[in-house]
A and B are shown apart, each in its own frame.
Chain A
């Protein structure tokens, strides 16, 4: 309570505040990632190219906002998400995150094909930060949401991609984060699954949870998000309502 009121006084009532985030990848013109190549070419001058994946990206996000990120391939969308999650470290800029940020970008990462759904729930849940006790307590709600009760001891490799997506989302929604990051989450799954996700998102919106959402599908951005930014060449070129941003995006790709 004390910290919350302090935040308000300082005017920091933001879930994410990113200022001038830059990230460059050093791309050598020839790859030299073995010692052998390193020795052979020891005296040959190496040329590099700095690929600026993100160039002074700034944006602010209030709790409860759903931000869509659109842009062409290679525009820096995924890099931005990875920096938010902590997977990449930004070269420069200031990133302030208030609240618990979910550590994952994709669903079902680390699912083991040869293990049962039950075993995968424990493994995946732990990677997402849950304790065994918490997983046990939420086990039934995970299984019911995913609708896999009859297949719980079946190996994941025998699951259809839709079942796998449902299970993955069911675990992820229990991750207890304040801020969620999603990279192309709806690429799999049928309409029923998408509807279920939508319901969860609505619930989150009411509870003041924040979502950053990367998608190539304009419809989904318009449906889920209340704001969207357009990235191009690592820069934020537009920031507005989803409708405006998508119009801008279509203009860009023409």
Chain B
């Protein structure tokens, strides 16, 4: 009798391990390539907004880099994740196993990249002379929430992608719009306060702002705000999974 216990967890683990090896072990530049994109973006924006436009934000490099790294994770995870049934087409059409494992594994692979990038971030913090306090530990919760939001959104996108193969282009455009509508390069204070409620409908805006609170401003967001973010995360993840489940059995036929 085959051991079915934790089969999905074991599959996710093996998929993540092999993805990691493929990405980093076989090319010395593997990590460099995943780092160069957010760092270039960071460099250009820093030049324009800090050197040319004299941004009033304190500790702007750290502030900006944290926002870019979090956003970059979300963008990469969703874009790569929604495409995963295409890249793993062989597996999907010739072996039966839970298709959700492919989405979750893809999200974990992106998370590993984020964790490596956060090492660079801590170097930046040290250079800027910011010492994180005990409150920085809350960041672990934000990382989990970020992961669940990205995975939930990927579930929805992947379910739609099997029907609309140009969804990737549309999502890329939406991500670009999202980049500017999220307080990544500008402080949320420059937005008129009557728009704040709309800005913070976006869980990423909350994750980025709250992370800056704990790292840079040494201030813990209120329990109320944290509960709202947690609720948003749960709703997005569960809705995404539920939508995905309705389409899961069609994936092998449609891909």
**Chain A residues engaging chain B, CB cutoff 8 angstroms:** 25, 33-36, 38, 82, 85-89, 100, 103-106, 109-110, 112, 114-115, 119, 122-123, 126-132, 134, 175-177
Contacts and interface: CB of A to CB of B under 8 A. Distances in A.
Contacts of A104: 94-96
10 contacts: A87-B92, A87-B94, A109-B91, A110-B88, A110-B95, A112-B22, A122-B14, A128-B95, A131-B3, A132-B10
B126 to A, nearest CB: 36
A131 B4 CA distance: 9
Secondary structure at the B interface, as helix, strand, loop or mixed, is helix
Contact of B253 (A25, A112, A130, A131): A25
B31 interface: no
A250 B11 CA distance: 43
A123 B170 contact: no
A129 B2 contact: yes
B165 to A, nearest CB: 5
A22 B248 CA distance: 20
A129 B10 CA distance: 9
A247 B30 CA distance: 57
Given A87-B94, A131-B3, A36 B22 contact: no
B1 interface: yes
B166 A88 contact: no
B25 to A, nearest CB: 9
A87 B11 contact: no
B96 A86 contact: yes
Contacts of B92: 87
B163 interface: yes
B175 to A, nearest CB: 16
B247 to A, nearest CB: 12
Nearest to B253: A88
B10 A176 contact: no
Contact of B21 (A100, A119, A130, A176): A119
Given A106-B94, A134-B3, 8 more contacts: A103-B95, A109-B91, A110-B91, A126-B13, A127-B14, A127-B91, A129-B2, A131-B3
Nearest to A99: B1
B249 interface: yes
Interface residues of B, number: 33
A101 to B, nearest CB: 9
Given A25-B253, A36-B166, A127 B1 contact: no
B243 interface: no
Nearest to B252: A87
A118 to B, nearest CB: 11
Given A112-B18, A115-B18, A127-B14, A38 B94 contact: no
A131 B10 CA distance: 7
A106 B89 CA distance: 13
A109 B95 contact: yes
Nearest to B170: A35
Kindly list the 3 A-B residue pairs having the minimum CB-CB distance in the complex, ordered from nearest. Answer: A34-B166, A86-B96, A103-B96
Given A82-B252, A100-B1, A127-B14, A87 B164 contact: no
A105 B97 CA distance: 12
A122 B164 CA distance: 34
A136 to B, nearest CB: 13
A112 B91 CA distance: 11
A92 to B, nearest CB: 14
A76 to B, nearest CB: 14
A114 B26 contact: yes
Interface string B12-35: 011101100110001000000000
A54 to B, nearest CB: 13
Contacts of A134: 3
